[in-house]
C-alpha cells in the first residue's frame, strides 16, 4: 500500500494528476513484474503496464473501494489487459526473460520448501494453470494477502488457498521430476 493512499486516491478521483502520479510510482513496479511474468517480453510488458495505468487514470473517477483495495483494482485491470493481449496477439507466455525482475527469490523458494533454483521454478511454472500462476505471483512475489488475492481474482479465500496449495504441490512434483531426470 502506498503511504497516504486513500488521500491520493481521493485527489486523483477529482483529477489531480500529480496524486495519480504518486500512485503510479508506488504500484508500477509490481504491476510491471506481474505482467512481465505473464507475457515474458520486456517491451510488451512495458507497453501493457502503460496501458493498465492509462486505463486506471481514465477510469479513476469510477473507482470505489467496495472491499477491493486499489492494488486489487489495478491487478484486475492488468489481468484483463493480458487476456486482451493474448486474444489479439495469439502469442505464448515465456518466463525466460525474467532475470532479475523478481526480487524475492528466497520467499518463493522457502514457500516451495526446496533448494531448487529460481530458473528451475520459472521453467516448471509454465505448466501451471493461469489462476495457479497468478496466485503464486501475487502471494509470493508481490506479497498480497490471501484476502486481497481473492478479491482481485474474484474467488473465495478458500479457493485461493486451494489454488495456492495445489500450485505449490504441482511445482514440488515437477521440480522433483526435473531433479531426478537431471540428477
Q: Which CATH class is domain 1-100?
A: mainly alpha
Joined grid coordinates for residue 54: 492509462
Q: What is the pTM of this model?
A: 0.61
CATH architecture entry for 102-183 = Orthogonal Bundle (1.10)
Residues 65 and 32: their CA atoms lie apart, in Å, by 22
Every domain of the chain and the residues it spans: 1-100, 102-183
Task: Report yes or no: 4 and 26 within 8 Å, Cβ to Cβ.
Answer: no
With cell 505448466, the residue in question is 127
The C-alpha atoms of residue 44 and residue 6 are separated, in whole angstroms, by: 30
pLDDT tens-place values along the chain, 183 residues long: 566 788 999 899 998 999 999 999 999 999 998 888 888 788 999 999 999 999 999 999 888 777 778 888 999 999 999 888 887 765 444 444 444 444 444 455 454 444 455 566 667 777 888 888 888 888 877 778 888 888 888 899 999 999 988 888 887 888 777 767 765
For residue 131, how many other CB atoms are within 10 A of its CB?
Answer: 16
Amino acid at each position: 500500500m502506498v503511504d497516504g493512499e486513500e488521500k491520493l486516491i481521493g485527489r486523483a478521483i477529482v483529477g489531480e494528476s500529480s496524486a495519480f502520479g504518486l500512485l503510479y510510482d508506488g504500484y508500477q513496479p509490481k504491476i510491471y513484474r506481474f505482467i512481465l511474468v505473464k507475457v515474458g517480453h520486456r517491451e510488451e510488458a512495458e507497453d501493457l503496464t502503460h496501458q493498465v495505468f492509462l486505463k486506471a487514470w481514465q477510469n479513476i473517477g469510477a473507482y470505489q473501494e467496495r472491499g477491493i483495495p486499489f492494488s486489487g483494482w489495478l491487478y484486475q485491470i492488468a489481468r484483463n489487459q493480458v487476456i486482451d493481449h493474448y486474444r489479439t496477439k495469439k502469442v505464448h507466455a515465456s518466463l525466460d526473460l525474467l532475470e532479475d525482475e523478481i526480487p524475492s527469490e528466497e520467499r518463493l523458494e522457502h514457500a516451495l520448501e526446496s533448494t531448487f533454483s529460481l530458473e528451475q521454478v520459472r521453467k516448471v511454472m509454465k505448466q501451471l494453470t493461469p489462476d495457479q500462476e497468478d496466485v503464486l505471483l501475487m502471494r509470493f512475489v508481490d506479497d498480497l494477502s490471501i484476502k486481497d488475492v481473492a478479491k482481485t481474482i474474484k474467488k473465495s479465500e478458500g479457493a485461493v488457498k486451494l489454488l495456492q496449495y495445489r500450485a505449490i504441490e504441482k511445482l514440488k512434483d515437477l521440480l522433483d521430476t526435473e531433479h531426478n531426470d537431471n540428477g
